[in-house]
Amino acid sequence: MCVVGVGLADGPKTPELSALMLQAQAFGRAVADSGLKKDDIDGLASAGYGGMHEVQLAEYLGLRPHWLDSTSCGGSSFEFHALHAYRAIQAGDVDTVAIVYGNNELSAAGRSLGTGRAGGGGAAAMPYPMSWEFPTGLTLIGAYAMAAQRHMHQYGTTSEQLASISVQTREHAARNPHAMYRDPITIDDVLSSKLVADPLHKLDSCVISDGGCAIILTTEDRARELGRPMVYVRGAAAGMTHHSIQAMPDLTVTAGAVTGPKAFAEAGITAADVDTFQMYDSFTYTVLVCLEDLGFAPKGEGGPFVASGALGLGGALPTNTDGGGLSATHPGMRGLFLLCEATRQLRGEAGDSQVDGAEIAVAHGSGGWLSTMGTVVLGTEPA
């Protein structure tokens, strides 16, 4: 299976566009990029906040797919979608699948009619047992902060090391004209920004933006006929360890410790073969722990690894080369943007942030409270 089309919607702020309009914009651009016709697409995957969102989206886009995937498990949903599409195309159940996401998270903030949140809108009941956790201060960022504190206690990781992730990601964003924040920052800037939940500061946290993304996957034969640069899905895996953070078996280990090695084995690669890493940087700690879990640094040594400058262009593992969720775009969920940027890198279309000679790219999504992980290996050659 190959990725044959990618499309990004406008952003980072588009008050004139609803969530569905952003999705349609990204979808249209992905179709145009692929060289396919809209009628060629017989599968659709999307993760929204309302019931039957993918059905609503299919109608809005004028599609009549016979294969649908509405898996919604947070920011890693789209890596799950890619895995499911990969297996379905391999099995012959579907020929060509579009994965689409878009949201006006920033512009819709505070609106009462629910024009954001992927068209769902409305208040959602707090899932049990979070109704017990939130009043004690264990909010979303509080959960990540607690995990980061554990890593610091266990391995000596420092706030400066976490801050270096934000600094390197901003360096990538500075080369992306569409990034939300492009001005350079220093470690001191990160550490002097508002402390939200110790040890995580404002600049350790992802932005809130509008935006959308779409990718199109199809068979190898059809991809070759289209004449676009070949980007193969070489391996994929997904999994979970918990829902609520209080049930996380180990605050310093995620399901990526399973999904990464499993996807790498299917792809016939090791961590050392990866040229660029695109991963869900909801917070700097998310980056650190996932780098370790996927084997890019030994467990407990992620801090020195990131502080070495490894994530920058020209570093050992250029990571989130579009500026990531920390600086570029984060419209509620970001997992699909990882697959888009990985594809652009392998096509040699990443502009000033192009990784020279990139042949293997990994997209790794993280969802929930470090709960769900999905790993997809892409390459310029088949496995």
Sequential DSSP letters for 85-108: HHHHHHHTS-SEEEEEEEEETTTT
Phi and psi based region of residue 268 (left: phi greater than 0; alpha: psi -120 to 50; beta: remaining): left
Distance CA 142, CA 289 (A): 16
Q: ∠ CA(77), CA(79), CA(80), 5° rounding?
A: 65
State mean pLDDT over 307-327. Answer: 98
Tell me whether residue 366 is in a domain: yes
Per-residue pLDDT at 141:
93
Q: Which residues face 379 on adjacent strands?
A: 232, 360
Q: Rank 68-72, 125-129, 133-137 by mean pLDDT and report only the highest.
A: 68-72
User: Residue-wise over 338-367: b if at least 16 C-beta within 10 A, else e?
Assistant: bbbbbbbbbbeebeebbbeebbbbbbbbbb
Per-residue pLDDT at 209:
97
Per-residue pLDDT at 117:
41
The three-state secondary structure class of 364 is strand
Q: Are 79 and 363 in contact (CB under 8 A)?
A: yes
Per-residue pLDDT at 118:
42
Tell me whether residue 285 is in a domain: yes
Tell me whether residue 153 is in a domain: yes
Tell me whether residue 121 is in a domain: no
Cis check: omega of the bond before 199, within 30 degrees of 0: yes
Per-residue pLDDT at 108:
86
More confident residue, 41 or 50: 41
Distance CA 28, CA 36 (A): 11
- Determine phi and psi for 374, rounding to 5 degrees: -135, 130
**Long-range contacts at 50-56 (CB < 8 A, ≥ 24 apart):** 50/117, 50/118, 50/119, 50/120, 50/121, 50/122, 51/120, 53/118, 53/119, 53/120, 56/20, 56/119
Q: Are 151 and 285 in contact (CB under 8 A)?
A: yes
Which amino acid is residue 84, in one-letter code?
H
Tell me whether residue 48 is in a domain: yes
Distance CA 109, CA 71 (A): 25
Distance CA 338, CA 324 (A): 8
Question: How many structural domains are present in the chain?
Answer: 1
- Determine phi and psi for 335, rounding to 5 degrees: -55, -30
**Running DSSP on this structure, what letter comes out for residue 356?**
T
Tell me whether residue 117 is in a domain: no
State mean pLDDT over 213-217. Answer: 98
State mean pLDDT over 28-56. Answer: 90
Q: ∠ CA(183), CA(188), CA(192), 5° rounding?
A: 95
Q: What is the pTM of this model?
A: 0.94
Least confident of 128-132, 173-177, 377-381: 128-132
Confidence of residue 49 (pLDDT cuts 50, 70, 90): low
pLDDT in tens, 62-119: 999 999 999 999 999 999 999 999 999 999 999 999 999 999 999 987 554 433 444 4
For 99, the token pair is 């994965």
Distances (CA, A) of 377 to 101, 162, 251, 291, 333: 20, 26, 25, 15, 20
Least confident of 38-42, 68-72, 133-137, 181-185: 133-137
The residue written with tokens 């792809």 in the block is 267
For 290, the token pair is 């996932």
Per-residue pLDDT at 134:
79
Confidence of residue 245 (pLDDT cuts 50, 70, 90): confident
Per-residue pLDDT at 22:
96
More confident residue, 135 or 237: 237
State mean pLDDT over 280-307. Answer: 98
Enumerate the H helices of the chain as residue ranges. Answer: 19-34, 53-61, 77-91, 130-133, 140-155, 159-173, 187-192, 220-226, 256-267, 284-293, 302-307, 335-347
Per-residue pLDDT at 126:
67
For 217, the token pair is 């996957």
Residue numbers of the domain that contains 337: 2-111+137-379
More confident residue, 120 or 350: 350
Mean pLDDT of all residues belonging to the chain: 93
Phi and psi based region of residue 125 (left: phi greater than 0; alpha: psi -120 to 50; beta: remaining): beta
Per-residue pLDDT at 113:
40
State mean pLDDT over 347-374. Answer: 97
| CATH code for the domain of 307 | 3.40.47.10
State mean pLDDT over 35-63. Answer: 89
Per-residue pLDDT at 136:
80
Q: Are 239 and 366 in contact (CB under 8 A)?
A: no
